[in-house]
Every structure is written in C-alpha cells, then in structure tokens.
Amino acid sequence: MTALLIAGLGNPGADYARNRHNAGFMAVDVIHDSYDFGPWRSRFSGLISEGTLARRRTWLLKPMTYMNESGGSVGAAARYFKLPLSAVLVMHDEIDLAAAKIRAKTGGGDAGHNGLRSITATLGPDYRRVRIGVGHPGDKSRVHGHVLNNFSKADEDWLVPMLSAIAESAPLLAKDDLAGFMNKVALLLAPEKKERPDVPKKDGE
C-alpha cells in the first residue's frame, strides 16, 4: 500500500503554539503521541516523524516555514516519497466551520486559507483535507486577529475532546475512509445518550 503523509498546518515558535491557526499542528501532535511514531526530525523545512496507522506506513509533517509557505515543505516531502495526491492529507483550522466541527474532503478551494493556497500552488488542489472548525469572529475585519489569538480557557472544553477524537479516529484516514473518520469523530463527540430504563430481555437474549 502507498504510504500516507499527514501534514498539520501552523506557525512555528512558542508565541504561536496555542493560536487557533495552529489547530493542524495540535492535531498531528496528538496523533503522534497516541500511536507508534518515532521522534520528530528536521527535514523538508519542517519536522517529520515516521510511524504506522492501521498498518499503513505514515509520515506526520509540521512545516516550519510559517503558514504562508507551507507548500514548500509539504511539496518537498510528497515529491521525495513519490506520493500521489490521494496519499497527501492536510489538517488545518477552518473559520467557516463552527468550533469543534470537523469535515474531511478531497480537493476544493482554499477559502482564503494561506496555508492551503500555498500547498495548492505547489501540488494542485486534489489533496485531502481535514478541516478543523475554530469558528468565525463574525466580522471579516476580525478574522486575522481571531486565528492568531490563542484558544481561550473556555475553548479547552471542546478543543481537548476534539483533538482526542481526531487521534482516536485517525486509523480510518489511513484506510482512506474519510466518511468513516467524520462519523467516528461525531460519535465520539456526541453528548452521552440518556440511559434507557431497563427493559426485560426476551428469552434467548
């Protein structure tokens, strides 16, 4: 099976570490810590780690180029490993999705996201994406500040479970099952169902 490259987008450095724009970095960090991945190494103008997901050889990549130049790092890795675009998956923040919502898809536009714009300019649009909702500030003029501000304390209530759900569902990405990935994330994040009253079991159950 062709190997898989999962690139999480963000900006390097401690000043940006908790920014909404760094949701992609956060997601691949949790995946890295949840499965059998090696140490991060400097390569392709980024940090890369090799491991396996669902028995599929997988590389995790965090471009260290700053968001606007992400394509240089992702493109270099994809070309070196001779990966088709179907084996390149990018995780990124998405202001047009409500906070804690996840969408996965193949191809599409860049919706003003500079990291995606850079990758598309390098590779073309037909790579896969996991869009991590961070909410919209309500006014276009406030978008820049919104994504470059840190997640708030209140955000932690949904951010931590969401990142955990992404990691737990990640093996489905390695199986190229984007719909299954979204469904499992949604199920993991769904409010617990109220317990039904005990119902007598039928004979044989």
Q: What is the C-alpha to C-alpha distance for residues 67 and 21, in angstroms, rounded to an integer? A: 9
Active site residues: 21
Phi, psi of 132 (to 5 degrees): -105, 110
Give pLDDT tens digits along the chain (205 positions).
Answer: 899 999 999 999 999 999 999 999 999 999 999 999 999 999 999 999 999 999 999 999 999 999 999 999 999 999 999 999 999 999 999 999 999 999 999 999 998 899 999 999 999 999 999 999 999 999 989 999 999 999 999 999 999 999 999 999 999 999 999 999 999 999 999 976 444 444 454 454 4
User: CA 167 to CA 30: how far, in whole Å?
Assistant: 6
Torsion angle, CA of 20/23/29/35, rounded to 10 degrees?
A: 140
C-alpha distances (whole Å) from 131 to each of 9, 57, 103, 113 are: 11, 23, 5, 11
Close Cβ partners of 169 (under 8 Å, ≥ 6 residues apart)? 181, 184, 185, 188
Domains of the chain: 4-189 (3.40.50.1470)
